[in-house]
């Protein structure tokens, strides 16, 4: 935790599309962010590309070091590397909140829903990290390149996890990047948002859309349920 009361956010895979866009927005919102990479030098170069504001700060480190320094660890790596990446940081995330953004896309058929045997990538993440870490999954349906522009992004963020308090922390992190986060139930429910990403990719292609997003409609009462 920093003097501002905000958590230090480690972004594992923060050199990539989604992690980089999230890291940029969080450091603009005044968070201290540590970008992680398999290559610490690449992470430092990525950190130098961001312009923190409002008291925020950004640095680069190896994935393991980023997880160690952080109080909240965001995992933004391809599904194919989820297992190896979580194994690398597992010892560093005990007692911490881990925000898993993994969508189980299996190239080349990324427009086809292909969920893992565990049911969802989020359930898989919790199993791989063990119960010492608290996994919440989110950000599955946000187009990274839209987030990277700094412009408003027309998309809600469905937030999944077993603990309401942990989900609420991620709802706040979504708000910090300019998105509405919504409590959406358990990690098993994450399957729906993970699957929806393949559908959004299909819609992007079929309708020549540039980053179709998700909106939940209805008069949602704040804090109800
Ligand atoms: N892109 C989107 O619009 C979007 C939206 C919603 C959700 N997601 C999900 O977010 C996750 C990240 O997506 P992305 O598009 O940001 O991915 P990405 O840019 O392709 O990769 C992110 C980072 O992961 C690391 N990485 C790549 N291949 C790896 C490997 N084989 N082993 C270990 N690390 C590897 C790389 O970091 P280093 O080389 O620096 O280690 C890379 O910069 C995915 O699960 C994706 O489905 C993406």
**Over the stretch 61-82, which tens digit does the pLDDT of each residue have?**
999 999 999 999 999 999 999 9
Q: E strands within 155-204? A: 156-159, 180-183
Query: Is residue 214 in some structural domain?
Result: no
Tell me how far the alpha carbon of residue 175 lies from the centroid of ligand 1, in angstroms.
22
Number of domains in the chain: 1
Residue of 202, 223, 213, 201 whose CA lies nearest to 157: 213
Residue nearest to atom 21 of ligand 1 (CA): 16
Is 70 among the domain residues?
A: yes
Q: How many other CB atoms sit within 10 Å of the CB of residue 84?
A: 11
Ligand 1 neighbours (beta carbon < 6 A):
13, 15-19, 37-39, 42, 76-81, 84-85, 101-103, 105, 139-140, 142-144
* Ligand 1: residue whose CA is nearest its atom 30: 81
CA atoms 158, 192, 99, 35: torsion sign = negative
Cα gap 15→12, rounded to integer Å? 8
- Angle formed at CA 151 by CA 33 and CA 63, multiple of 5 degrees: 25
For residue 15, report the distance from its CA to the centre of ligand 1, in Å: 8
Return the pLDDT at 224. Answer: 57
For residue 18, report the distance from its CA to the centre of ligand 1, in Å.
7
Q: Say which CATH number the domain at 45 has.
A: 3.40.50.720
CA dist., res. 179 & res. 174, Å (int): 5
Alpha carbon of 77 to ligand 1 centroid (Å): 3
Residues of the chain with pLDDT under 70: 1, 3, 223-225
Which pLDDT value is given to residue 210?
Answer: 93
**Domain membership flag for residue 224:** no
- Cβ atoms of residues 139 and 205 within 8 Å: no
Q: 125 is written with which tokens?
A: 């993440």
Distance CA 123, CA 189 (A): 9
Q: Is 217 helix (H, G, I), strand (E, B) or coil?
A: coil
pTM for the model stands at 0.97
165 CB-near residues (< 8 Å, 6+ apart): none
Whether 183 maps to a domain, the answer reads yes
Residue 76 falls within a domain, yes or no? yes
Provide the pLDDT for residue 223.
66
> What is the distance in A from the centroid of ligand 1 to the CA of 73?
15
What is the residue range of 43's domain?
A: 8-206
Nearest to 134 by CA among 84, 158, 169, 83: 169
Report the residue among 42, 64, 74, 77 best suited for mutation to probe ligand 1: largest number of ligand atoms under 8 A from its CB: 77
Q: Calculate how far, in angstroms, residue 3's C-alpha sits from the geometric centre of ligand 1.
A: 31
Is residue 109 one of the residues assigned to a domain? yes
Q: Is residue 220 part of a domain?
A: no
Name the residue with the closest Cα to ligand 1, atom 33: 81
Nearest atom (ligand 1) to Cα of 211: 3
- At 221 the pLDDT is 87
User: Would strands 134-137 and 8-12 be described as parallel, antiparallel, or unpaired?
Assistant: unpaired
Q: Establish if 110 belongs to a structural domain.
A: yes
């Amino acid at each position: 935790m920093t003097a501002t009361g905000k958590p230090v956010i480690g972004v594992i895979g923060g050199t990539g599309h989604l992690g980089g866009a999230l890291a940029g927005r969080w450091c603009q919102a005044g968070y201290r962010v540590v970008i992680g990479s398999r290559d610490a030098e690449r992470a430092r170069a990525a950190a130098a590309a961001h312009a923190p504001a409002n008291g925020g700060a950004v640095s680069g480190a190896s994935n393991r070091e980023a997880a160690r320094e952080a109080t909240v660890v965001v995992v933004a790596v391809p599904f194919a590397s989820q297992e190896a990446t979580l194994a690398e940081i597992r010892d560093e995330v005990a007692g911490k909140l881990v925000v898993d953004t993994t969508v189980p896309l299996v190239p080349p058929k990324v427009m086809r829903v292909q969920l893992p045997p565990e049911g969802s990538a989020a359930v898989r993440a919790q199993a791989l990290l063990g119960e010492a870490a608290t996994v919440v999954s989110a950000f599955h349906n946000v187009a990274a390149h839209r987030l990277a522009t700094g412009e408003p992004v027309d998309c809600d963020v469905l937030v999944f996890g077993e603990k309401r308090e942990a989900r609420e922390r991620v709802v706040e992190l979504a708000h910090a990047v300019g998105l509405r986060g919504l409590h959406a139930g358990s990690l098993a429910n994450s399957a729906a948002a993970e699957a929806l990403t393949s559908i959004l990719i299909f819609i992007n292609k079929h309708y020549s859309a540039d980053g179709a997003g998700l909106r939940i409609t209805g008069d949602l009462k704040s804090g109800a349920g």
